[in-house]
Structures are given as structure tokens and as C-alpha cells.
Amino acid sequence: MSDATQPAPPLLEVEGLTVEYRTGRAWTRVVEDVSFTLDRGETLALVGESGSGKTVSATAVLGLVGRKGGRIAAGSIRFRGRELVGLPERELRRLRGREVAMIFQNPMRSLNPAYTAGEQVAEVARVHLGMGRRDAWRKAVEMLDAVGIPDPERRSRDYPHQFSGGMAQRLAIAAALCGSPSLLIADEPTTALDVTVQARVLELLRDIQQQTELAVLFISHDLGVVAEVADRVAVMYAGEVVEHGAIEELFLVPRHPYTEGLLGSIPVLGSGEPLRSIQGTIPPAGSHGAECRFAPRCAHAQPVACAVGHPGLSVVGAGRDVRCHRATDLHLEGIAR
């Protein structure tokens, strides 16, 4: 990380991020010691079940944790080398939508039902690009066109409920990219969509990335979708990163049993193998003791070692980290892409 010869810092650097939420009088840790980096034009996927802390990590990047009754207890988030943790709200606001944008799981719910498509996109242009009413509107129509919404002139006057799911997500992407950000956080952007529509939205994201060097922080529970878009993957479990690596390596040779489990639940066409799913559920935040958090669900857990010590994240290769006591002696089953 601290390579002196490297002149420019990575676009996004998250280090030791720990986020807590208020539950009654106490604070509960939902994200603990999460680190990752992201460069221009790159796509990093944060993968995990719901409750693993992936969305919270992403909202922390936008500085929105406080809005939701949480706080960043430790760690740093650097964007273009600039520290975001502790930055005043004014400065953060200038960043949101302009440098870092976000799209959400359910496009219908993330678009304001009371305003037209054009109004929602144009608002970003007015706020961040300082455009007048008319210029902003023209920019909005351009954006709708750019994300592949047919007949943008007319559609810009429609309300979100008049859009189909796929078109609504395109609209959300248009609004997100209107301020020409360099980082897009995509929180399960295709989960709520039909499979065929999913593929087209992913294709759109890839096209945009190629044209604009946009970096994408892609949040998903589905390694199948991740395989389509990501360069690198960070697998999260119970608020921690449990495995991190380049996508091919991680798919071929998973080093963490949880990753193996997630890979097992991807349907492979014509393989004839039954899908495996991971038994049990994520333990609730705040209930963790000093054991491996995945141990209760782990097929490879050993009675003493895994139940007593909390494994640290250890480097097992170039850009490859694993949080497992048995990282060196396990041989897990991956899948070929």
C-alpha cells in the first residue's frame, strides 16, 4: 500500500472502517475493520448476505451513516487522497452526486414518485453543475438518451411509476451520472429486475465504464452477477471482510469456506450438480464473541481452534487476503468461469 514510487493515491482508499449503530442506549458494531481500495475505471464487488455490512460500508463512503443513526467509530476513508471521515457536511455534500454517486436496489423506490424523470435528473445538473432551468432540462434529456431510454424528450415528462423496472434503473443511473462522478456505488442494482433486464443494465454499466473510466463499487449478494462486472471481490461476513482477491483467482480457488459456500449456490448451466446452500443465518450484529464468526455455519470448522480465537485477515498472495484459521491447510472447491 505505502509504495513510495506510486505518485497518485488510489481513487478510493478505505482503511480499518468501523461503523456502529445505536440500539437503545448502546452502540452496536455492524461493520468492523473493513479495508479496500478502488482505482479509476475499476470495479470492486462487495459480496455477502444481507446483514453482512456491505451496504453500510458503502453508505459510509458517502458520509450518510450519521443520517441513519450510526457513526464511524474508527478508520479512514480517503477519496483522491483526501480524508472524508470528519469532513464537514458542506464539503461532503459537494462530493455526493458530483464525485461519488449511488444507485439503489429498487429503482422504483429510490426515485421520488412526486417528480418527473426530467425533474429528478435536471435537479442534479442544477445543483452540481450550476446550470439554469433550461440548460439543466436539456442536460437531463441528454442523460436519458445516454442511458438508452428511448424517446427521451417525451419520457422526461413521465413520472417514475410510468417506467418499467429496467427503464427506471436506467433513469436512476442517468440521475446518478448527471454530475459526472468518478465513483459510482451500485447497491444491488439489478436484484429487483428480471433476468433479461438485468443483463442489459449490467451491459449499460460496463459501456459507461469503458467510456468514462468510472470506478464502480458494486454491492451484491449474487456472485453470479458479480462475475459479470467485477475486477476484484471483497467477500463480507458479519461486518468483516473474510476474503479478498481478483475475481478469477477467487472463483477458481476460494480460500474461505464462506466464499466456497457462496460459489456453490451459483447455478451452473448443464453441470447437473445440485445447488448447495449455506446452512443457518448470519449471527445478529453485536452478538459476536472472540470466535470465528463463521464457525457455527462452517463445514470445515475445528472444535477448538475455530471456536476460541478470532482470525485476523492474513495475506495469502498478491492482492489476496483471507480471514480463516485454516487458510493454509484447506483445499476448497471453486468454479471455472
CB of 141 to other proteins, least distance (A): 18
CB of 104 to other proteins, least distance (A): 5
Q: Which CB sits closer to other proteins, 125 or 146?
A: 125
- 3-state helix/strand/coil string of the chain: CCCCCCCCCCCEEEEEEEEEEEECCEEEEEEEEEEEEECCCCEEEEECCCCCCHHHHHHHHCCCCHHHCEEEEEEEEEECCEECCCCCHHHHHHHECCCEEEECCCHHHHCCCCCCHHHHHHHHHHHHCCCCHHHHHHHHHHHHHHCCCCCHHHHCCCCHHHCCHHHHHHHHHHHHHCCCCCEEEEECCCCCCCHHHHHHHHHHHHHHHHHHCCEEEEEECCHHHHHHHCCEEEEEECCEEEEEEEHHHHHHCCCCHHHHHHHHCCCCCCCCCCCCCCCCCCCCCCCCCCCCCCHHHCCCCCCCHHHHCCCCCEEEECCEEECCCCCCCCCCCCCCC
Contact positions with other proteins (CB under 8 A) in 155-194: 159, 161-162, 172, 175-176, 179, 185
Q: Which CB sits closer to other proteins, 45 or 185?
A: 185
CB of 216 to other proteins, least distance (A): 15
User: Pattern 91-130, binding to other proteins, x per CB under 8 A?
Assistant: -xxxxxxx--xx-xxx--xxxxxxxx------xx--xx--
CB of 103 to other proteins, least distance (A): 8
Q: Which CB sits closer to other proteins, 24 or 272?
A: 24
Q: Environment class of residue 50 by beta-carbon count within 10 Å: exposed (0-12), middle (13-18) or buried (19+)?
A: exposed
Q: Which CB sits closer to other proteins, 71 or 94?
A: 94
CB of 88 to other proteins, least distance (A): 13
Q: Which CB sits closer to other proteins, 19 or 292?
A: 19
Residues that contact other proteins, how many (by CB under 8 A): 37
Contact positions with other proteins (CB under 8 A) in 52-71: 59, 62, 64, 67-68
User: Pattern 259-298, binding to other proteins, x per CB under 8 A?
Assistant: ----------------------------------------
- Evaluate whether 27 touches 52 at the Cβ level (below 8 Å): no
Q: Does 19 bind other proteins (CB under 8 A)?
A: no
Q: Which CB sits closer to other proteins, 51 or 311?
A: 51
Residues at the interface with other proteins (CB under 8 A): 59, 62, 64, 67-68, 92-98, 101-102, 104-106, 109-116, 123-124, 127-128, 159, 161-162, 172, 175-176, 179, 185
